[in-house]
Amino acid sequence: MDKSKNRAADFEKALKARDQQKYVLRLYVAGMTPRSMQAISSIKSICEEHLLGRYEIEVIDIYQQPGLAKEQQVLAAPTLIKTLPLPLRKFIGTLSDRERILTSLDIVPKV
Amino acid sequence: MVLDTSSPIAREATLPKCPTGIQGFDEISGGGLPKGRPTLVCGGPGCGKTLFGMEFLVRGATEYDEPGIFVTFEEKAHELAENVLSLGWDLKELEARGKLIIEHILVERSEIEETGEYDLEGLFIRLGAAVDAIGAKRIVLDTVESLFAALPNELILRSELRRLFRWCKQKGLTAVITGERGDMTLTRHGLEEYVSDCVVDLNVRVKSDIATRRLRIVKYRGSEHGTNEYPFLIGAGGFSVMPITSINLDYATSSERVLTGVNRLDTMLGGQGYYKGSSVLISGTAGTGKSSLAAAFARATCAGGGRCLYFAFEEPVSQIIRNMGSIGMDLGKLMDAGLLKFHASRPTTYGMEMHLLTMYNMVKEFEPDAVIIDPISNLSAVGGEEEVKSILTRFVDFLKGQNITTLFTDLTFGRTVGEYTESAISSLMDTWILLRNIETNGERNRALFVLKSRGMEHSNQVREFILSSDGLELTDAYLGSEGVLMGSARVGQEARDFEESRLRGQELSGKKRSLEAKRAALESQMAALKQDFLSMQEEIEAVETAAKAQNAALFKDRDMMAKIRKAD
């Protein structure tokens, strides 16, 4: 009985820790096209809404820094890469499918 | 084969071409791939698409000073480099010299999620940077179809691919795009829709357990090209396409003669043997002495200071040497002298094309005056009749071009004795010698015929072919009242004939003697008669003299009497 109680406590703790998890995101865009702008505003609004204070986002223009794109095997633009928390995830497109991004980023939507 | 710019296809120069440097390919495509345009190379797994692309780049970089980019979606750069190192291509060194860039583009379906519209600008930027870095003129995309697995949105992908091919054209890149064969289409994802300038199809077919690779130019917009399926192989030096159409019947013909190694056979062939640079076929059933005749030719060639290359497809070298030793031919000595070279292999070791290439390379290396293939019939164990014929046609063609005398032996089977060759290649041959076993009186004897020999007088007679420890010998078959006889029957008949003629001789001389005696008798008779004649003449003369004397005496008496009677 004690054991299971402990387990429940651990679970609660882990959940809480997850809520505090810091997110490191990189968005690769190809110039300031409408598509790029759409992706940027889309991810910003998600982060502001769900990850306030615990996210870091870097927008990289692959025209300016082709080396970085090569390093990360970025083919499509825009591409969003979540480097932290693990596992690494890649999203391509304008990031318009909000529900799907939230699920894949492992973000629990605030009710 | 060698690039032949005089071929009718190669003369066509309507479209700027980009030579691939791939052995034989430039010949059938009339100079190479369309310059500055994309070409689709499609085929099933393991048929050499990647290698085709790689060789295109390596040759471009080393032979035509055109740097290239190899974009690989499947293999990693170091894996590729390791794979082609065995072909003598050092990709690392080429990269270091700025002649080649290998771009490994990794796409994994599981990692990527699509969330709305996108384009492949990342790919373009990357390729653009690579092209600009070395001033690339060539690009290979191997294989772009991997993207279909990674990116589910086909609509976007297709439009991006179209853009990519257009981009290559704009950059003036001669591109090779590889694609996996689909069920009913050339490529699984219909890439042929976007690449319409040139399509090359590679395939591997397995027949009787032996695989043959083939290449076909499906289309080539704006250019003439060979339309056949050409066998090709991937050898130690890369791709080799061997166009059957390389037959140009325009090589110089020699009227020089070479000895056959058997005196009487030289006599049968107009007294001087084969033509140099001609093709000779020796066909016959098992055990008729084909190899022996071939070895005799090898020995004769070497004895004249020439070099001979002997391809043995049936026996190991040591066995041939032992066997030929038993009929008085020491081939080992010739080998040691470096005049004779053997190459023994099983026909089934590899496919026909590989055999052709091996033979081709060995001929190039050894530079022989004569080449022997013993026997060609074994090759049909590997390929079909058509294939063997096509291979031999090309090989004979090549050797004739080099003025090398070629001798083939061909094993025919008992049931089809005669003027038939297993490989249906007799029309390629200039001289055809048929060996045959003739069975009579419980023994088999070898008979030799010259079925044909182009451009020379040759005997139409059958000869008996005798193998003994002294060597090879041809003797006249017995032709007489008993018909054509050979072997012991011939020897017996000859003995009988001899006896008969001896008896006849004796008879004749007896007759002659008796006639001579008769003549002698007549002569003596004639002498006696002559004597009689003479004596008779003398007698007649004596009588006449006596008569004259009487007459004179009579007149004298009458005068006297008149005087006495005092007649007036």
Select from B280, B287, B327 the least CA-distant residue to B470. Answer: B327
pLDDT at B520: 95
Contact assignment for A69 to B112 by CB distance below 8 Å: no
Contact assignment for B121 to A95 by CB distance below 8 Å: no
pLDDT at A44: 86
- Picking from B121, B141, B151 by the largest number of A CB atoms within 10 A of its own CB, the best residue to mutate is B121
Query: Could you say which of B105, B116, B125 has the minimum Cβ distance to residue A66?
Result: B125
Domain residues of chain A, as ranges? 22-104
Task: Return the exposure string of B426-457: e unless at least 16 CB atoms fall within 10 Å of the residue's CB, then b.
Answer: eebbbbbbbbbbbeeeeeebbbbbbbebeebe
Query: Could you say which of B105, B113, B123 has the minimum Cβ distance to residue A90?
Result: B113
| Residue A101: pLDDT over 70 | yes
Residues B294 and B240 both lie in one domain: no
C-alpha separations of B520 from B123, B513, B525, B530, B532 in Å: 126, 10, 9, 15, 19
Residue B390 lies in a domain: yes
Q: Which residues of B touch A (CB under 8 A)?
A: 105-107, 111-123, 125-126, 129, 147, 151
Dist CA B215 CA B289 (whole Å)? 40
Give, rounded to a whole angstrom, the gap between the first and last alpha carbons of chain A: 32
Query: Could you say which of B106, B113, B119 has the minimum Cβ distance to residue A100?
Result: B113
> Percentage helix, strand, coil, to 5, in chain A?
45, 25, 35
Q: Given this structure, which CATH class describes domain A22-104?
A: alpha beta
Contact residues, chain B, for A87 at CB < 8 Å: none
Min Cα distance A24 → chain B (Å) is: 17
Contact residues, chain B, for A101 at CB < 8 Å: 113, 115
Residues B234 and B281 both lie in one domain: no
pLDDT band at A82 (very low <50, low <70, confident <90, very high): confident
Residue B556 lies in a domain: no
Query: Could you say which of B105, B115, B122 has the minimum Cβ distance to residue A100?
Result: B115
Chain B residue nearest residue A105, CA to CA: B113
Query: Which one-letter DSSP state was computed for residue B111?
Result: G
Min Cα distance A74 → chain B (Å) is: 6
Q: How many CB atoms lie within 10 A of CB B62?
A: 16
Contact assignment for A90 to B114 by CB distance below 8 Å: no
Query: Could you say which of B107, B114, B129 has the minimum Cβ distance to residue A66?
Result: B129
Contact residues, chain B, for A70 at CB < 8 Å: 126, 129
Q: Which residues of A touch B (CB under 8 A)?
A: 28, 30, 35, 38-39, 62-63, 66, 69-70, 73-79, 88-97, 100-101, 104
* Nearby residues of B445 by Cβ (< 8 Å), 6 or more positions away: B437, B438, B439, B464, B486, B487
Residues B371 and B230 both lie in one domain: no
Residue B554 lies in a domain: no
Chain B residue nearest residue A64, CA to CA: B125
- pLDDT tens, A43-66? 888 888 877 778 888 888 888 887
Contact residues, chain B, for A79 at CB < 8 Å: 118, 122
Contact residues, chain A, for B118 at CB < 8 Å: 35, 76-79, 92-94
Angle CA A6–A7–A9, to nearest 5: 65
pLDDT at A91: 83
Contact residues, chain A, for B106 at CB < 8 Å: 73
Domain count, chain B: 2
Residue B14 lies in a domain: yes
Q: Are B241 and B23 in contact (CB under 8 A)?
A: yes
Contact assignment for A76 to B116 by CB distance below 8 Å: no
Residues B240 and B331 both lie in one domain: no
Query: Could you say which of B117, B118, B125 has the minimum Cβ distance to residue A63?
Result: B125
Chain A residue nearest residue B118, CA to CA: A93
User: Is the preceding omega at residue B440 within 30 degrees of 0, hence cis?
Assistant: no
Residues B138 and B27 both lie in one domain: yes
ipTM: 0.79
Contact assignment for A96 to B116 by CB distance below 8 Å: yes
Contact residues, chain B, for A35 at CB < 8 Å: 117-119
pLDDT at B508: 93
Residue B230 lies in a domain: yes
3-state secondary structure of B67: coil
CB pairs under 8 A between A and B: 86
Query: Could you say which of A93, A97, A100 has the minimum Cβ distance to residue B118?
Result: A93
pLDDT at B549: 93
Residues B298 and B214 both lie in one domain: no
- Picking from B101, B115, B127, B144 by the largest number of A CB atoms within 10 A of its own CB, the best residue to mutate is B115
Min Cα distance B185 → chain A (Å) is: 28
**Longest Cα–Cα distance in chain A:** 60
Q: Which CATH number goes with the domain that contains B109?
A: 3.40.50.300
> What are the phi and psi torsion angles at B403 (to 5°)?
60, 40
- Picking from B118, B132, B146 by the largest number of A CB atoms within 10 A of its own CB, the best residue to mutate is B118
* Nearby residues of B406 by Cβ (< 8 Å), 6 or more positions away: B278, B279, B280, B370, B371, B372, B373, B395, B396, B399, B400
Range of the domain at B143: 8-246
Residues B275 and B188 both lie in one domain: no
Residues B421 and B337 both lie in one domain: yes
Domain boundary among B476, B510, B533: B476
Contact residues, chain B, for A102 at CB < 8 Å: none
Chain B residue nearest residue A72, CA to CA: B106
Residues B174 and B281 both lie in one domain: no
Contact assignment for B107 to A75 by CB distance below 8 Å: yes
At what angle are helices B290-303 and B317-325 packed, to 10 degrees?
A: 90
C-alpha separations of B481 from B35, B478, B501 in Å: 78, 10, 14
* Nearby residues of B112 by Cβ (< 8 Å), 6 or more positions away: A76, A90, A91, A92, B150, B151
Residues B166 and B43 both lie in one domain: yes
Higher pLDDT: A111 or B52? It is B52
Dist CA B312 CA B166 (whole Å)? 54
Min Cα distance B33 → chain A (Å) is: 28
* Nearby residues of B453 by Cβ (< 8 Å), 6 or more positions away: B269, B270, B430, B431, B432
Residues B352 and B437 both lie in one domain: yes
Residues B70 and B151 both lie in one domain: yes
User: Which residues of chain B, if any, have pLDDT below 50?
Assistant: 1-12, 245, 247, 417
Contact residues, chain A, for B126 at CB < 8 Å: 66, 69-70, 75
Chain B residue nearest residue A31, CA to CA: B121
Helix (H) or strand (E) holding B466: strand B463-468
